[in-house]
Each structure stands twice: as C-alpha cells, then as structure tokens.
Structure 1
Amino acid sequence: MTTDAVSAAPSAGGVTYQPVGDGYFEKRQLKRHAGLFTLWMMGVGAVIAGEYSGWNIGLAQGGFGGMLIATAIIGFLYICLCSSIGEMSAALPHTGGAYSFARTALGPWGGFTTGLAENIEFVLAPAANMFFMSAYLSAIFGTPDSWLPLWWVLGYAAMLGLSIRGLELSMRVVVWVTVAAMLVLAFFFLVAIPHVDVARNALNIAPDGALIEGGNGPWLPFGFTGVMLSLPFAVYMFLAVEQLPLTAEEAKNPTRDMPRALILSIVTLILLALGVLFFGAATLPGAHALGSSGEPLLDGFRHIFGDGWAKLFAAIAVLGLAASFFAGSFASGRNVYSLSRAGYLPTGLSVTSARTQTPNLALAAGSAMALGMLLLVWFLGGKDNVAFMGGFLVSMIVFAGMVSYILQSFSFLRLRTLYPSIARPFVSPFGRFGAYVTILICVVTLAYQFLDPLYRWAAVAAAAWYLIGLAYFAFYRRHRLVLSPEEEFAVSGGTRGRPLGE
C-alpha cells in the first residue's frame, strides 16, 4: 500500500485517515505457521482455565441443577456464536477478528465499540486466569494470600519472556500445555467415578444457601432466578474461544481451518464443562463447599488422594490455568496489535519484532493493563476477600464478552445483508436464527448481572471502562486512523484490503 493511497483515503463515519510511510506495514508483519491442530488447541487452551476455577462460583448462585441448566443454555449460545464467527472469519480472514467483522458491517464506530469490548475481555481473562493460578500455587507452596501479587508479577514476566523467543514457539508451548491440561481433567473424571454420589454431594445446598448435611436437597434451591444468576459463571467455561480469529494472519489456511477449529474447540469445551460440573459437584467436598472454593479441582483431588498426592496433581493442574493464561495473553496482544495498526490505539504499539515478527509491544501493553487491573482490584478490597475478587473479575469479563457477542451477532446479520455475494467458504448451519438466539441469551445474561446484588458492581466497573474507552476514541483517536487491511476492505466495499502476507 502506498502513502498516496492512504493520503487520498476518504473520511467516513466521522473519522479521518492519516497518511503513513511506505514502510509502515513492513514493520507490522506477522508470520503464518498455525495449522488446524494448533488452532484447535489454541481455542481450547484459551478457555480451559475456566474448567479449573471460576465456574464453581455458579454453584453458590444456582445450585447443581441451576448450574447444569445454565451450562446447557450457554453451551448452545456458544455453538451458535462459533458458527456465526466461523462464517465471518472465513469470509474476512484478518487478524482484527471481531473488530474486523464489525468494522465492515457497522462502520468505524461499530468496529471500535466491538474491538474495545474484546479488549476489556481479553485483558481481564488472562488476568483472572493468573489470579486463579496464583490461588493454586499458594495452596501448593503454602504461601499466604499477601503473596498473591508476587505470583502475578512472576507469571507475566514468564509469559513475556516466552513471547520474546517468538510466537511460533509460544504457540507450540500453549498447544502441548493444553493437551496436558485436558489429560489432567480426563484423569480426574476417571478417578472420581467410584466416589460419585449426586444426591449426597451435588444436592447439598438449601434454599437459604446453607449446607444440607447428608444431601438430598432440591435440584433448584434458588429456583429459576438461580439459573439466571449462574449464567455468567457458565459463560466462564467457554469464554474466550472466540479469540481464535485474532490468529487469522498467523494461520496457514484461515478460510478452511478457522471455522473447523472453532467448531472443534467448542464441542471439546462443552464435553469438558459437563464433565467437570458433574464430577466436581457429585464428589466430595460437594457443591456447597465448591461454591466458594478458589481451587475446586485441587479440593476434588484432595478428597480422593489426600493432601500429599493432591498437591502433586494440583501442580499438574496448574498447566490448565497456564495454558489459558498464555493463550489469553497472546489474544490480548493481537487485539491491541490490530487496533493499533488501524490507529484506534497508538500506532507504535503494533510494531512487530524484526527477528520473530511477534507483536511484543502490543503484548506488553495488554499485560501492563491486566497487571494494573489485578493490583487495582486487589488494593480496593480484593486482599480482604480473595474469593469475592475471583467472582468480581469473572463478572467484569462476562459483561465485556456479552457486549462483544451481541455486536458480533449484529455484524453477522448486517454482513449477510450488505455483502450477500462475498465468498463464504463456510456458512453457519444456524444462519440468522443462531445470531438472534445469541443476542437474546446475551441480553438476558447482562440483565441478570445488574440484578445480582453481589456482583453488579463488577458490571458497573466494566461499563465505566467501556465509556472511558469510547470517550478516548470520540475526542482523540477517530481523527488518527490508518488504512489497515481491515479498514481498506471496509472503505472499498470489499474490493481491496486482503490480509497482509496473503
């Protein structure tokens, strides 16, 4: 792309494109290296921490039955969502992912609004994974809660150190760590079978939230409201699988492999989610105790094998949290990279390493925001209630995720109307129906977040972050955009702007 072409770019939607030099995109190249298996494991790896921690808080909100129904509802939501995203990612294989889809369908404001929602989600998701991983590490090494921030700093330092070696190596590490994490869960399911007692262990929550000694309590101790309040924590068992399209410009064949990887990932995650919910709640210590646990898988292993062996298995279990932490952090970096390359964020953040073609600056920026938010929540009250801090982070992430899913579904519907003739190598089997279902479930989940007296302030905090970001765009960045491939594709009506490296 030439400087003249960029200088001559028209303004649209109240935005202005700035000219850039001939070497602008040469300094922002990514390397194609990911095949189907790598993408599949990256999709599972981005989420699998949600099967280790965070999901269990939903037991305290809805009981076993409420959480089971919520998981079924959210599982169907993600099947519909991944089908829609699969269609869009094959038609628009840019690294911008959700921002790219919305930019083409909804204009620059819609693009940034969607990209910002994903930014909040992908900054906070690995931060929450790091938080839960630190809880496991503290239990393993016997360190006090006051040491948790030290674990966070060490974790982000390790992730950034791995990234410097190159994203291809980083992805390979995530892939095999994810495989190991899946094997740990499968092993837990296997050894838990002789200890399953649904009536005694899973149904031990009373309608007032108290423990029922001996179990045999109601399936829905909090009624339908409990199902609705469990939805955000069911989301956490699938949230972030939609980050896969951010790797489009690193995939060898994104138009073929991206939809397949998305579907394989969500099917795998649904099976893992149902397994961890059933075997976790139906064995000791039971649903009531797990509802406030920071390390539910460790608690399960502890009651099966005792403390000594449990710590060994918990050390292995940290792999699952590490997989999601690394994969989520890389997704955060790619989100910052794509928004920066297009000028929605400072353009200097999208410069990639000349040696490894890794977006290290974007990754460092996303990591700094995540670590900053962890420390902020910690000092504002998290250090006094560690269990509550985990739920607070999950609720913030779910708020941003639901907003992103609604906007992506609207983008899907709009793309089918505006661009009916663009090549669609994959077509969603659920079509418009799937998009409408996604929007409906997301709206209900958001509504119940604000009705939840325990975590509504988390949704308010995420909304405040959202409004600050929109103000930054409205008053400053919208006049400093760049015709990146996503922007050029949208401005030209799809006639130009193929991904870099094609």
Structure 2
Amino acid sequence: MSNKLKKTLSPFQLWAIIVGMVISGMYFGWNNALAFVGPVGFIVAIAVVTLFYTAFMFSYAELATAIPDAGGSSEYATRAMGRFGGFFAGFSSIVEFLFATPAIAISIGAYIHFIVPVVPIIPAALVAYGIFVIINCGGVKTAAIIETVVTIVAIVGLVIFAGASFTHIDTTKIIGQNAFRGGFKGIFNAIPFAIWFYLAAEGGAMSAEECKNPKKDVPKGFILAILTLVILALVTFVCTSGVLDSKVLGSTDSPLPDALDAIYGKGNVFSKLMSFVGLFGLVASLHGIIMGYSRQIFAMSRSRYLPEFLSRINKKGSPMVAIIIPSIIGMLFVLLNSTAVIIVISSFGAIALHAISMISLLILRRKEPNLERPYKVSYSLPVISLVLDAVLLITVGYSNISTVAFVVGAYLIAIVYYFLYSKFKNSSSKNDEVTKMDEQDKAI
C-alpha cells in the first residue's frame, strides 16, 4: 500500500469541505449558551470569537499555502519548533476533531428521532456514524462530491429558515429586559458555544495536500469559507434569538425547527422541512470532520509520531486504517450522550491548536524567511489571533474547570506516550542499523 494522497480537489470542493465541517454548528449546539447568558452577552461572545476566527483563518491560509501537507498544524509546528511541537499540535487537532464527531452524531440521532420517534437516538447516531466511516473509505473524490452536495443543501436550508423567520424577528427578545442576564460570568460560559459556530474550520488545511494546485486553491477556499461562515452565523443567531425567548432557546436540541414552530404553529411545513434539512447540515459536518481527523492521524503516522500501520492507503487512495480506528473511539464517546461536555473538550483542543499554529507562523517567518509564500498576511493578524486565543483559553478554563482538568490529564498521558514511543523508535532504528552493518560485514 502507498502512503501518498491523490490530488483531486478544486477550490470549490475545498470551500465545501471547510464549510461542511462547520455548518452543523448553525443547526445545534450554539444555543446552549443562552442557558448561561442573555442575548447581548452572547453577542459579545460571538463578536470576540468571530474576530478571532477571521484573523486566524486568513493567517492559517498562509501556512497551508506555503506548506500544503495533510498534517496541517502538526507539520507547521514540526518545522517551526521540532518534533515535540509537531506532536503537540497534532494531538490538539485530534482532540478537537475526534470529540466534535460524537456531539454531531448524537444530534443526528436526535434529529432522526424527532422525525421518526420510534427510532432511539443513540442507535441512530451510531448507524449514521458508521455509514459515513464507510463512505470515507471510498476515497477523497467520492467523499468530496458527497460533502459538496450535502453542504449546499444545508446552506439552502439556512437561507429558507432566514426567509421564513426574518419578518417575524422581535428585537425586544434580543435587547430587551433579560438581554444582559449572566453578566461577565455568563459571557465566559458562552465562549465554548460561540466557538461551535466556527469549530473545525481549520480542518481544510488537512486537505491542502489533496488540492490540484495548493498555492492558488488554498487561499481561495479558506477566505471564501470563513466569509461564508461569518454571514451564516450572524443570520442564524439573529433569526432564532429574535423569535424564541432566550431561556427556551437555551434548553432546546432543535433551535431552528422550534423557532419556526413558534411562528407558524407546531407541525407546520417549514418546521418539518427544517428538521429534514438540518440532517444535511449535521451530516456535512460529521462527514467532513471524519475526513479531517483521518488525514491528521495519517500524517502523524507518516511522520512517525504514531504507529506506521495508520498511514496505509487503500486502492481508492484513502487512509482506511486512520479512518476506522479513531472512529471506533468516537463511537464509544457517543454512548456517553453528553453533548455539552464533549463540546467543551473539543473547544479546548481547538484553542490549543490555534495557539501553536500562530506561534509556528511567527517562528517560520524568522526561521525560514525564504520559504515560498504565495499568500502572505500582515504580522498584525497572527498577533491579534494569539491575543484573542489567550482570552478564549482563560474563559473556557475558568468556566469549565472540571472538564478542562480531564483534558489536561489526557495531554499529560499523550506527552508521556510521545517520549516513550520516541525512545522506542530510536532504539529500534539503532538496532536496524546494527543489523545492516552485521550483514554487510558477513558479506565482506
């Protein structure tokens, strides 16, 4: 089996993969913030996170264009800070992506249960997860076509929702009496859920190696994707929070259908349509994020951070082992059925990944000044991104101490693994060299 990925992606397909990875965040998850904070407080959280992701994605496009590798941040950090930096970045990416998929799968199960009540949530989630693991094993070309189709349908669904709800927005629900509920503590609690609007957008970097012309395609795909996501996030928030009471919105698993129920009455056509189309948004993200973490694990295996068998490619050009094994782990977390906790864990991984990526960009500017950079940003953008990322880290840590303690424990275990595995690989390499020398001496 080979360990090289096929170059088949166009800028449009890269855009679809990035938007598809994220778009489920428009259909669920973000609204949980309103259990802690009023609409105005959440607007503050959204503004901070939106500014961060915009600065980050423009900066990240520079790295992905200069170094189009399936390892994404892991490869950038390796070149900037050495192998330990690369491992830390890669593990952070795995935490972000691998924990995002169970939350999305559970929501798919909930949507299916909403449409067909006799179908239990968790079994439906596991079946959906399994189906898209199989599809991903069919190669990136097939996966990208499916991702493009479901992403476009999901975007059309959001446009329909906006059209059906825009004229019914009541601004007093957004800036009325309970607008500042929760105060600064509420804003801190809301940050992980604001991140959910954009979480996994950086996953497009892991598909850069599979672009036909990375130096031109990557900037186009990245910039168009983040602009699309900013617009969709703002429209979704305004059209939903302007219809439903914030406390009701903060406790529902299906915010968009519930908003349409509030306008047109229960069981209306728009609400049923939104429930069905919402599945496309969730499927787009599940499918895209499976692509993301499989490429990350594939690349880390190829770079000898992980066992070599994880970088094997099947006849379709797909890293099948790197798809299946982590997906089994993801399915185990589906059984926990705790979406809010999983979102916080995934957000912590994202924050760590963003920080090391921007530090890598700044180091590489000094360390490799002659590196070809077809797309280059101002120094101010990665600096802004780093400052805001520190704010996100503080707020997520402050408001979720017990969950973050679990994540820190996982990182410590990963670091121990890194040093033990590195020592084993070095010892194995030395033994191989000694064996080769002995064989050469015998031949002489």
Does the TM-score normalized on the shorter chain lie above 0.5? yes
8 Å CA contact 2:313, 2:320 repeated in 1? yes
> Normalised by the size of structure 1, how large is the TM-score?
0.82
1:126–1:478 distance in 2 versus 1, CA, 3 Å: farther
Query: 1:480 is paired with a residue of what secondary structure?
Result: helix
The residue identity in structure 1 corresponding to 2:369 is: P
The residue identity in structure 1 corresponding to 2:404 is: A
1:333–1:129 distance in 2 versus 1, CA, 3 Å: same
For 1:437, the equivalent position in structure 2 comes to 384
Q: Tell me how far 1:251 sits from its aligned partner.
A: 0.5
The residue identity in structure 2 corresponding to 1:282 is: G
Q: Within 2, Cα distance between the matches of 1:477 and 1:198?
A: 58
For 1:449, the equivalent position in structure 2 comes to 396
C-alpha distance after superposition, 1:8-31 (max 9, x if no partner): xxxxxxxxxxxxxxxxxx611211
For 1:320, the equivalent position in structure 2 comes to 281
Among 227, 240, 247, the residue aligned to 2:200: 240
Structure 1 window deviating more from structure 2 (320-329 vs 26-35): it is: 26-35
Q: Within 1, Cα distance between the matches of 2:22 and 2:423?
A: 33
For 1:471, the equivalent position in structure 2 comes to 416
Q: Within 1, Cα distance between the matches of 2:200 and 2:350?
A: 8
Instruction: Determine whether 1:37 maps to 2:9.
Output: no
- Aligned ranges for residues 327-346 of structure 1 at < 5 Å? 327-346=288-307
- Aligned ranges for residues 152-301 of structure 1 at < 5 Å? 152-199=125-172, 201-203=173-175, 216-284=176-244, 286-301=245-260
Q: Within 2, Cα distance between the matches of 1:294 and 1:260?
A: 34
8 Å CA contact 1:44, 1:268 repeated in 2? yes
Across the aligned residues of Structure 1 and Structure 2, the Cα RMSD in angstroms comes to: 1.6
8 Å CA contact 2:17, 2:144 repeated in 1? yes
Structure 1 window deviating more from structure 2 (335-344 vs 223-232): it is: 223-232
Query: 1:299 is paired with a residue of what secondary structure?
Result: helix
Query: 1:46 is paired with a residue of what secondary structure?
Result: helix
Q: Tell me how far 1:194 sits from its aligned partner.
A: 2.4
Instruction: Determine whether 1:367 maps to 2:327.
Output: yes
Q: Within 2, Cα distance between the matches of 1:172 and 1:160?
A: 15
C-alpha distance after superposition, 1:428-482 (max 9, x if no partner): 1xx3322222222222222222222xx432222222222221111111245438x
For 1:421, the equivalent position in structure 2 comes to 370
8 Å CA contact 2:161, 2:274 repeated in 1? no
Q: Tell me how far 1:320 sits from its aligned partner.
A: 0.3
Q: Tell me how far 1:337 sits from its aligned partner.
A: 0.5
Q: Tell me how far 1:302 sits from its aligned partner.
A: 2.3
C-alpha distance after superposition, 1:36-77 (max 9, x if no partner): 100011110010001111111122222111111111111110
The residue identity in structure 2 corresponding to 1:40 is: W
1:180–1:478 distance in 2 versus 1, CA, 3 Å: farther
For 1:7, the equivalent position in structure 2 comes to none
C-alpha distance after superposition, 1:372-392 (max 9, x if no partner): 2222xx1xxx4xxxxxx2211
Q: Tell me how far 1:91 sits from its aligned partner.
A: 1.0
Q: Tell me how far 1:402 sits from its aligned partner.
A: 0.3
> Normalised by the size of structure 2, how large is the TM-score?
0.92
Q: How many corresponding residue pairs?
A: 424
Query: 1:297 is paired with a residue of what secondary structure?
Result: helix
Q: Within 1, Cα distance between the matches of 2:268 and 2:50?
A: 35
Query: 1:307 is paired with a residue of what secondary structure?
Result: coil
Q: Tell me how far 1:165 sits from its aligned partner.
A: 2.8
1:407–1:37 distance in 2 versus 1, CA, 3 Å: same
Q: Within 2, Cα distance between the matches of 1:468 and 1:197?
A: 50
- Aligned ranges for residues 25-104 of structure 1 at < 5 Å? 27-104=2-79
Structure 1 window deviating more from structure 2 (37-46 vs 223-232): it is: 223-232
C-alpha distance after superposition, 1:384-422 (max 9, x if no partner): xxxxx2211111111110011111111011001101111
8 Å CA contact 1:344, 1:480 repeated in 2? no
Query: 1:252 is paired with a residue of what secondary structure?
Result: coil
Q: Within 1, Cα distance between the matches of 2:145 and 2:139?
A: 10
Among 391, 405, 408, the residue aligned to 2:340: 391
8 Å CA contact 2:136, 2:287 repeated in 1? no
8 Å CA contact 2:188, 2:398 repeated in 1? no
Q: Within 2, Cα distance between the matches of 1:247 and 1:181?
A: 21
C-alpha distance after superposition, 1:76-107 (max 9, x if no partner): 10111112111111111111101010000011
The residue identity in structure 1 corresponding to 2:397 is: F
8 Å CA contact 1:94, 1:248 repeated in 2? yes
8 Å CA contact 2:18, 2:225 repeated in 1? yes
8 Å CA contact 1:128, 1:394 repeated in 2? yes
Query: 1:187 is paired with a residue of what secondary structure?
Result: helix
8 Å CA contact 1:344, 1:478 repeated in 2? no
8 Å CA contact 1:329, 1:366 repeated in 2? no
Query: 2:130 is paired with a residue of what secondary structure?
Result: helix
Q: Within 1, Cα distance between the matches of 2:90 and 2:138?
A: 27
Q: Within 2, Cα distance between the matches of 1:239 and 1:94?
A: 20
Q: Tell me how far 1:189 sits from its aligned partner.
A: 0.6
Q: Within 2, Cα distance between the matches of 1:394 and 1:294?
A: 14
Structure 1: where are the runs of 5+ without partners? 1-25, 204-215, 383-388, 482-502
Judging by fraction of residues, say which structure has more helix: 2
Among 115, 119, 131, the residue aligned to 1:140: 115
Query: 1:90 is paired with a residue of what secondary structure?
Result: helix
8 Å CA contact 2:126, 2:334 repeated in 1? no
For 1:493, the equivalent position in structure 2 comes to none
Among 329, 350, 353, the residue aligned to 1:401: 350
Q: Within 1, Cα distance between the matches of 2:117 and 2:422?
A: 47
8 Å CA contact 1:345, 1:477 repeated in 2? no
Instruction: Determine whether 1:119 maps to 2:94.
Output: yes
Query: 2:82 is paired with a residue of what secondary structure?
Result: helix
The residue identity in structure 2 corresponding to 1:340 is: S
8 Å CA contact 2:136, 2:290 repeated in 1? no
The residue identity in structure 1 corresponding to 2:333 is: M
Structure 2: where are the runs of 5+ without partners? 427-444
Q: Within 2, Cα distance between the matches of 1:281 and 1:265?
A: 24
Structure 1 segments of 4+ aligned residues over 4 angstroms from their partners: none
